[in-house]
Every structure is written in C-alpha cells, then in structure tokens.
Amino acid sequence: MAKFLSIRDAVADNLKHGDSVAFEGFTHLIPHAAAHEVIRQGFKDLTVMRMTPDIIYDQLIGMGMVKKMIFSFAGNPGVGLLRRVRDAVENQWPHALEVEEHSHAAMANAYEAGAAGLPCAVFRGYLGAELAKVNANIKSIIGPFTGEQLAAVPALRPDVTFIHAQKADRKGNVLIEGILGVQKEAVLAAKRAVITVEEVVDDLDTHTNACILPHWTIAAICVVPGGAHPSYASGYYDRDNVNYIEWDAIAADREKFLAWMDEHVLKATPEIFAERVRHLRASA
C-alpha cells in the first residue's frame, strides 16, 4: 500500500546498502531528484540497473556508490559518452565497476519477465552478437516445437525501483503518460517501488487504458515537482537540453565533477527541482 512520504523518508525506509536498484526512465521522466537523495544518503555497494544509464548513473558511479551496473546503452543522450562511467571502467576511478552488459531487447524482456514473475526472459536475440561471449548471464534454450534456439536472460528483480511519474490520486494510484519506457515493468518487477510525482490530484482524469500503477503495487509516493529535471515530464515541462550538453564538460574532470556534486547535490535539497523547471513550464 502506497504511503505518501517525503523523498528523504522514502529513500531511508526502502533502500539499504548493497541493494539492487533501478532508476528507470527512457529519456522521459528520469528520476533525478530520487537519485540525488540516494546520493545524499550515501549508500554503498549498490547494484544499479537501467536500460539507458545516463547522467544520474554517471553521478552515482562517480560518487563511488556502485559496485555493479547492469545496462544496455550507457550514453549521454544526444551528446556522447558518459565520462564518469568511462573513468570507472577504464581507470577504476573511484574504484572498479563490474558491468553486466545486455542489448535493449534483453533488458526490456528481462524487466518484463520480472514483472511477470518468471525466472527468465526468452526472446530471439543476440544472434551473432559478441556480448553473448562476455556475459555469462546470456544463455539459450531450444524451443520445444520448432527446435529454434532462442536467447534467455535472467529476469530483473530489483530490490527497489525508483521512477518519476506525472501524478498520483489521493489513494496513491499513479499515472504515467507519453513515452512509457519500461517503468511499469520496473515497478512491478521490484520488491519495493518508490515513485516521485509532479502532483497529487483528486482524479487522474485520463483514458481507461492509460498506464496506471494501482496504489497497492507501490511502497511510497513522494511529491517532488520538477523531479525529472533536466529530463522532462510530458504535460509539465520540457527537456532541458542545454543541461545535457553542459554535463559533458562537468563530468570530463574529476575535480570539477566533485565540486559540482558537492554544490548541487550534497548541499542541495529535493525542493530545488521545482525552481529548476520553473522556466521550462511555460513551453510544455
């Protein structure tokens, strides 16, 4: 049953050192505010997973909180590489990072299998692809009717999934609209789900087949307006593209990165996100 909590309390109540954790969002609705709160609370040895780790994974990894990353595309979308991820993989800074690398199809199917309560996902994939040689979690099965060899990967079952969504109603049912990514699957696959939302409303006022997570599938809901910035929340504010471009320069240098994190994350509060998106709301 969803509790309405501050993001501070929701993170403290639901995350532990060593947990596996997904911060999902596919360009749209990336849970920046939740990730910053996790960084402030200083967790260690996390196994993080996401199809498209971007800036927040650069931040988590650069701050030394991550033991292992499961992913399928680690880039700064529209800009280039993730420089903190590269520094960890190439130079073990601040420490070594274990990676389990998949394709998007594999990750999407693995979350789907997690939501579906299955031990593994089965799909047609990795044909001729070398990832199958370097990732022991890519196996195969033979279909019992046609004899076709299909790929199999373990279901993803994070201890905690964080997502950002547009709104919740007062019972705690949560609506996601627009580009949905794998957020529904990541929530249903998780042991505990923490969702930041732009607002709480009396009535979700949407389509009968819209993507809604019932309140009893959610551990905690936190109202954090702007919580997806610099990504966007369809209907609330646009993507802050310039921030993605600027991140490339910040993350390029270890000292610059640490100084930025100190000022904008460690010494900041979740409340700053509302201010950050103020200028972006008009155009959304």
CA distance 210 to 76: 29
Site string for other proteins, 133-162 (x = CB under 8 A): -x-------------xx-------------
Choose the binding region for other proteins from 8-16, 40-48, 122-130, 159-167 (rule: CB under 8 A): 122-130
Does position 122 interact with a second copy (CB under 8 A)? The reply is yes
47 CB-near residues (< 8 Å, 6+ apart):
18, 19, 20, 21, 66, 67, 68, 69, 70
In angstroms and rounded to an integer, the radius of gyration of the C-alpha atoms of the chain is 19
Task: Give the shortest CB-230-to-other proteins separation in angstroms.
Answer: 6
Which CB atom, from 17 or from 184, has the smaller least distance to other proteins? Answer: 184
Among 85, 218, 219, 220, the residue binding other proteins under the rule CB under 8 A is 85
Least separation, in Å, of the C-beta of 38 and other proteins? 15
> Closest approach of Cβ 268 to a second copy, in Å?
33
CA atoms of 195 and 174, how far apart (whole Å): 8
Least Å distance, CB 182 to a second copy, is 14
Query: Which range of residues in 38-46, 158-166, 193-201, 264-272 is near other proteins by CB under 8 A?
Result: 264-272
Could you identify the residue written with the tokens 């000022």?
263
Nearer to other proteins, 12 or 74 (CB): 74
List 42, 80, 117, 214, residue binding a second copy (CB under 8 A): 117
Q: What is the DSSP string of 90-120?
A: HH-SSS--EEEE--HHHHHHHHHHHHTT-SE
Exactly one of 118, 131, 188, 268 binds a second copy (CB under 8 A); that residue is 118
Using CB under 8 A, pick the residue from 20, 47, 59, 166 that binds other proteins: 59
Pairs from 144-149 (Cβ < 8 Å, separation ≥ 24): 148/124
Helix/strand/coil for 147: coil
Alpha helices in 44-181 (DSSP H): 55-62, 83-91, 104-115, 131-134
Query: Which residue of 144, 145, 208, 255 would you call a contact of other proteins, by CB under 8 A?
Result: 208
The reply to whether 272 sits near other proteins by the rule CB under 8 A is yes
Beta bridge partners of 193: 161
CB count in 10 Å sphere of residue 272? 14
C-alpha torsion sign, points 180, 181, 183, 184: positive
Among 24, 58, 26, 20, which Cα is nearest to 39's? 58
Q: Tell me which stretch binds a second copy (CB under 8 A): 44-52, 143-151, 190-198, 236-244.
A: 143-151
Q: Where on the chain is the footprint of a second copy (CB under 8 A)?
A: 116-120, 122-124, 137, 139-146, 148, 150, 152, 154, 177-178, 180, 206-211
